[in-house]
Amino acid sequence: MIVELKNITKYYQNAASDKKRIILDDISLAIEKGDSIAIVGPSGSGKSTLLNVISSLDTANSGSIIFDGEDLSQKNEKELANFRNQNLGFVFQLHHLLPQLNLIENVLLPFIPVKDKKKRQEAEKRALELLDFVGLLDLILQRPGQMSGGECQRAALVRALIHQPNLILADEPTGSLDKKAANKLGDLLVRINEKQGVSVVVVTHSMDLAKKMKKIYQLEDGRLKQIAIGNE
């Protein structure tokens, strides 16, 4: 088991009245090691909120999140930041690569402050292996402006993997890609899950992407229900 969400409830207070708007209503979910999970649902149903709660970027109003046996609610902000750095990789709809840096510099950016030369060399080796894995080895000296949207998004995936996370959290990772590039990114997420054993949770409007995952959950009216077993 990697992550267990137990009875998570999240609501927002309506600014115009004293009513609560419940976004996540008593949600429980187990993400096992090696799982790949898609979360689908209507716009505004709370998919990103759920992903942010899983990652501890947002806090629930009640319930708990247990990550490898540790209760995240017991950690302070600094401990949570360390926990995210060690365990999680994030991929968003927009790649957020820095335009003035080339591809390899973007991927290795988190290692610039690292003083240990050996650690930096290991990261460089891993970066090259991962860039090869996603088919970008020829582009390492190019800047994001000289790369296609699909290539930038694959680079963002490498950046998310550089710390060797246990879990990748992807929020609409194919949302800004055309069908072909989206398909390629989806296949890469599957290969990373299967070959490298990284668990994947992906929020998406795309059933094509969702169907590549082992399990598909629908979030609607605050409730999460498994609607399909995907490629398992």
Ligand X SMILES: Nc1ncnc2c1ncn2[C@@H]1O[C@H](COP(=O)(O)OP(=O)(O)OP(=O)(O)O)[C@@H](O)[C@H]1O
Q: Does 174 bind ligand X (CB under 6 A)?
A: no
Of the pair 46, 150, the CB lying nearest ligand X is at 46
Binding-residue pattern over the window 15 to 54 for ligand X, x denoting contact by CB under 6 A: --------x-----------------x-xxxxxxx-----
**CB-based contacts of 208: which residues, under 8 Å, 6+ apart?**
179, 182, 183, 186
Q: How far lies 149's CA from each of 173, 226, 232, in Å?
A: 11, 31, 29
Structure tokens at 158: 């490498």
Question: Cβ 5 to ligand X, closest distance in Å?
Answer: 15
Residue 222 CB-density burial (10 A; 0-12 exposed, 13-18 middle, 19+ buried): middle
Of the pair 17, 43, the CB lying nearest ligand X is at 43
Of the pair 144, 173, the CB lying nearest ligand X is at 173
Question: Cβ 21 to ligand X, closest distance in Å?
Answer: 7
Cα distance between residue 116 and residue 87, in whole Å: 21
Of the pair 18, 232, the CB lying nearest ligand X is at 18
CA-CA-CA-CA torsion sign (57, 96, 86, 40): positive
Question: Cβ 62 to ligand X, closest distance in Å?
Answer: 17
Q: Does 56 bind ligand X (CB under 6 A)?
A: no
Question: Cβ 63 to ligand X, closest distance in Å?
Answer: 16
Residue 38 · residue 202 · CB < 8 Å: yes
Of the pair 41, 186, the CB lying nearest ligand X is at 41
What is the binding site for ligand X (CB under 6 A)?
12, 23, 41, 43-49
